[in-house]
Structure 1
Amino acid sequence: MTKITALLLAGSRPGSDPLAQAAGVAVKPLVPVRGEPMINYPARALLAHPSVGQLVILTQTPELYRADPATAWLDEDPRVRFEQSGSGIASTLLELLDRPDLPFPLLVTTADHVLLDGDMLDQFVAEADGADIAVAMVERATLLARYPSSRRTWLKFRDGWWSGANLFWFGSAKARAIISLWQEVEQDRKKGWKILAAFGPIALLGAVLRVSTLRGGIARVGRRFDLLARLVPMRKAEACIDADKVEDVALIEQILDGSA
């Protein structure tokens, strides 16, 4: 396989982030987890994976990471580079798709994906390879069997309740159509019906009536846009636990300490 270009989203949304405020840091990716900035965890996991050729960190404030002694190593690693991110994830990705120095396939994840590890990357890369676009999800039963008190945002389908795992695969320029759609709905990413509605009335009605599976819905979206779209149902419950709230950080620290 061609070496993967990994994109790590480390930007800031407009306004202050509650988690960053609570920790007393400038931006969320610098929030400490077990004493070090959370961005270090997914960055190390990506750089340690043999399929990753380069790591691009997308942020509005690269100077913060260069100046912090705990994250300065990112600027010193020859495989890592910082790129300026825009106001939205999708718009930033669209600007990068045609860059010859950022070859496909692209693997996108987030700085708060603290529990990302080699096993997750092994599964996702193996099952996403060959697709124009792939998305990792975790079914609710997988999470609750391991962490029954963890709370996520769920989309309900006939084949289960699903939550995102913050792993995306863009295998070719055909992904542009889906990213453009993402751009339209990214402000409503927590409102499942708006996301579904953007995929068309058949997908929306199917979800409401529970006659559509997530796997089938993603495949249907791919056919609509003349590309191969694939769901990767993650085996590890930790794949959908990101550091979004104070209680998430507490759980993540317990998992990393082996006490959860």
Structure 2
Amino acid sequence: MSATPSNITAILLAGSRPGTDPLAVAAGVAVKPLVPVGGEPMINHPARALLAHPAIGRVIVLTQAPELFAGDPATAWLAEHPRVRFETSGGGIASSLMALLDRADLPFPLLMTTADHVLLDGAMLDQMVREASGADIAVAMVERRILLARYPDSRRTWLKFRDGWWSGANIFWFGSAKARPVIALWQEVEQDRKKGWKILSAFGPLALLGAVLRISTLRGGIARVGRRFGLSARLVAMDKAEACIDADKPDDVVLIERILA
């Protein structure tokens, strides 16, 4: 199914991980999405980008504490916006997403991103919607050369494959209900990270061998995992380096504010 104007539901993850977040503590706010970046809470940036995009019909903010956003004068507009609704999340992303799918009867397609994706913009969303449409599941990534060509000093976590070194761009696409078994598997990984190799082997011996020997391409690996589940899975290799720069550390915030300026 391809996405038509305004039929995509965007899920904006605005929860907090267990324990205290150093950025939130340093800024003196209750949760990380309220940390000021460029003069306002970071969540406002991706929220505005999503609401401005013609393909996005509605935005669901998934967080453990909706009242914090309604009670903050700088984010109260979100709680009052007719196309935004808040839903309460649990501890893990996948388990919260599964619970949301079960209780809210959400229409597909869904596009999911994070409150710390401050640099999210219309061009990134255009590319994601264009290249993910028709897939049951898609994940956005940035190849290392794309990032380093523009920001040579930026540090990321890279996954090495035969078709390059990749870093996550925190934009996910769930095109149909066929994505549910993959979300359920993600939930298992979240619950017990120590069983990671068992989870990987559930994708089949080729995927396991490919990961261990690093002989698999990321594109091929994602497509193969999809076939294992009887669905269409796709990598979206983002054109913009900024797609993988999120506000995770003080250095990131400095870089983001420089880019925004």
| Match in the other structure for 2:226 | 222
Please tell me whether residue 168 in structure 1 is matched to residue 184 in structure 2. no
Contact 1:112-1:243 at 8 Å conserved across structures: yes
Please tell me whether residue 39 in structure 1 is matched to residue 14 in structure 2. no
Q: How does 1:225-236 map to 2 (within 5 A)?
A: 225-236=229-240
- For 1:29 and 1:215, the matched residues in 2 are separated by 31
Please tell me whether residue 83 in structure 1 is matched to residue 83 in structure 2. no
- For 1:100 and 1:60, the matched residues in 2 are separated by 16
CA RMSD of aligned residues (A): 1.9
Q: What letter matches 1:170 in structure 2? A: F
Q: 1:93 aligns with which of 82, 92, 97?
A: 97
Please tell me whether residue 251 in structure 1 is matched to residue 224 in structure 2. no
| Match in the other structure for 2:70 | 66
| Match in the other structure for 2:120 | 116
> Shift of the alpha carbon at 1:197?
5.3
Q: What letter matches 1:13 in structure 2? A: R
- For 1:146 and 1:203, the matched residues in 2 are separated by 32
- For 1:206 and 1:70, the matched residues in 2 are separated by 47
Please tell me whether residue 142 in structure 1 is matched to residue 146 in structure 2. yes
* Change beyond 3 A, Cα 1:196–1:142: farther
| Match in the other structure for 2:214 | 210
Contact 2:185-2:199 at 8 Å conserved across structures: no
- For 1:239 and 1:196, the matched residues in 2 are separated by 26
Please tell me whether residue 50 in structure 1 is matched to residue 54 in structure 2. yes
* TM-score, structure 1 as length reference: 0.93
- For 2:79 and 2:67, the matched residues in 1 are separated by 10
> Shift of the alpha carbon at 1:34?
1.3
| Match in the other structure for 1:158 | 162
Greater Cα shift, 112-121 or 173-182: 173-182
Contact 1:158-1:207 at 8 Å conserved across structures: no
What's the secondary structure of 2:10's corresponding residue? strand
Long gaps (5+) in structure 1: none
CA displacement, residues 105-141 of structure 1 (integer Å, 9 cap, x when unaligned)? 0000000000000000000000000110000000011
Q: What letter matches 2:76 in structure 1? A: A
Q: What letter matches 2:93 in structure 1? A: I
> Shift of the alpha carbon at 1:144?
0.8
Contact 2:143-2:237 at 8 Å conserved across structures: yes
Contact 2:203-2:228 at 8 Å conserved across structures: no
* TM-score, structure 2 as length reference: 0.93
What's the secondary structure of 1:232's corresponding residue? strand
> Shift of the alpha carbon at 1:204?
3.2
> Shift of the alpha carbon at 1:103?
0.7
| Match in the other structure for 1:22 | 26
Greater Cα shift, 40-49 or 17-26: 17-26
Contact 1:137-1:232 at 8 Å conserved across structures: yes
Contact 2:136-2:232 at 8 Å conserved across structures: yes
What's the secondary structure of 1:97's corresponding residue? helix
Contact 1:188-1:195 at 8 Å conserved across structures: no
Greater Cα shift, 160-169 or 193-202: 193-202
Q: What letter matches 1:150 in structure 2? A: S
> Shift of the alpha carbon at 1:6?
0.3
> Shift of the alpha carbon at 1:13?
1.2
* Change beyond 3 A, Cα 1:79–1:244: same
- For 2:117 and 2:135, the matched residues in 1 are separated by 23
CA displacement, residues 146-186 of structure 1 (integer Å, 9 cap, x when unaligned)? 11111111111000011100000001111011111111223
| % identity of equivalent residues | 81
